[in-house]
């Protein structure tokens, strides 16, 4: 009943769209809420959603509440600088494995100079948990090819689907990848995969490439519709990070947005409203800010 109400309200809110016949695309966008109040977080109750594409009202055809990711890949940093952070990193990985619904298909890999311990996306959570439990700080060595590892995770998700997640657990920037930063960013946005980043961070002994870590992963996580979290090996900080991840995973909605066809990427803006048509300002709404709408997914507007 609630899903039907959201669908109706979303369409009513967007009736300002042009009704002239034109070629359009229907694009699925996953939007996740995060509470701005860390002390007393509570689940959002959106009454309606509004969408704009290139600054113009866009029709929301469908709203699916409580939408959980169907597929995810955990990307675990095993470079040398992670040695003293391995216990905390394992907590973050195991916490995500417990958090994701039972029907979410999960893959896993570790990385340093190269990718290792790769387990394809599938239904083998017990095997993944056993592998994470066996990781030891003595396994950590080498440099950090994070972008190469994420690119490999994207290959594991091919063909990518709306809502796919990559969850990166690392302690710094990239000092080893073969893929360039610009090519990496283009790949992430083209494949429409959300990046969730938990970054252990301090400035001691960092190379210039590693110092770029927060800027790189914050930027791409935000643009992909994911989140970027700075944490520490302290237990309370790890628990706080898992709480943020739980909000993101559990407070998600799938929106089907209708947009005019275009050969170019288009800017999308989403808003969640209460019963008084005011924005839900107590929450951040995380979603991809660019959408692709080309002839392959076009339909005739009625």
- pLDDT value of position 48: 96
Give the CATH number, domain containing residue 94.
Answer: 3.40.50.410
Q: Within this chain, do residues 166 and 100 fall inside the same structural domain, yes or no?
A: yes
Q: Within this chain, do residues 62 and 93 fall inside the same structural domain, yes or no?
A: no
> Does residue 27 sit within a domain?
yes
Look at the chain and report how many structural domains it folds into.
2
Range of the domain at 26: 2-12+22-67+252-300
Q: Quick one: average pLDDT of 5-17?
A: 42
Task: Indicate the average pLDDT of the chain.
Answer: 88
Cα 292 to its chain centre, rounded Å, is: 17
- pLDDT value of position 238: 97
pLDDT of 106 > 80? The answer is: yes
The model's pLDDT over 19-34, given as tens digits with 9 standing for 90+, comes to: 344 688 899 999 999 9
Q: Quick one: average pLDDT of 55-73?
A: 96
Q: Quick one: average pLDDT of 58-80?
A: 96
The model's pLDDT over 186-238, given as tens digits with 9 standing for 90+, comes to: 999 899 999 999 999 875 655 555 566 688 899 999 999 999 999 999 999 99
Q: Within this chain, do residues 217 and 292 fall inside the same structural domain, yes or no?
A: no
> Does residue 48 sit within a domain?
yes
Q: Within this chain, do residues 156 and 239 fall inside the same structural domain, yes or no?
A: yes
Q: Within this chain, do residues 243 and 266 fall inside the same structural domain, yes or no?
A: no
């Amino acid at each position: 009943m609630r899903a039907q109400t959201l669908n109706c309200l979303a369409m009513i809110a967007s009736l300002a769209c042009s009704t002239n016949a034109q070629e359009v695309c229907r694009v699925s966008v996953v939007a996740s809420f995060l509470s701005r109040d860390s002390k007393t977080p509570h689940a959002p109750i959106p009454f309606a959603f509004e969408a704009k594409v290139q600054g113009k009202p866009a029709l929301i055809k469908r709203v699916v509440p409580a939408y959980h990711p169907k597929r995810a890949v955990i990307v675990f940093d095993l470079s040398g600088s992670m040695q003293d952070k391995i216990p905390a990193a394992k907590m973050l990985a195991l916490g995500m494995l417990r958090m994701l619904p039972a029907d979410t298909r999960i893959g896993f890999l570790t990385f340093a100079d190269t990718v290792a311990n790769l387990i394809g996306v599938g239904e083998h959570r017990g095997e993944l948990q056993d592998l994470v439990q066996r990781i030891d700080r003595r396994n950590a060595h080498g440099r950090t090819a994070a972008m190469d590892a994420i690119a490999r995770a994207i290959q594991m998700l091919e063909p990518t689907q709306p809502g796919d997640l990559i969850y990166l657990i690392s302690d710094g920037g990239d000092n080893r990848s073969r893929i360039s930063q610009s090519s990496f960013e283009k790949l992430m946005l083209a494949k429409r995969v959300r990046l969730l980043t938990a970054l252990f961070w301090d400035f001691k002994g960092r190379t210039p490439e590693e110092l770029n870590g927060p800027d790189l992963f914050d930027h791409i996580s935000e643009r992909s519709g994911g989140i970027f979290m700075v944490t520490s090996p302290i237990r309370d900080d790890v628990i706080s990070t898992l709480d943020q991840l739980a909000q993101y995973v559990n407070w998600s909605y799938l929106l089907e947005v209708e947009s005019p066809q275009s050969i170019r990427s288009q800017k999308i803006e989403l808003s969640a409203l209460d019963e008084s048509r005011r924005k839900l300002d107590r929450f951040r709404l995380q979603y991809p800010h660019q959408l692709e709408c080309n002839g392959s997914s076009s339909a005739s507007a009625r």
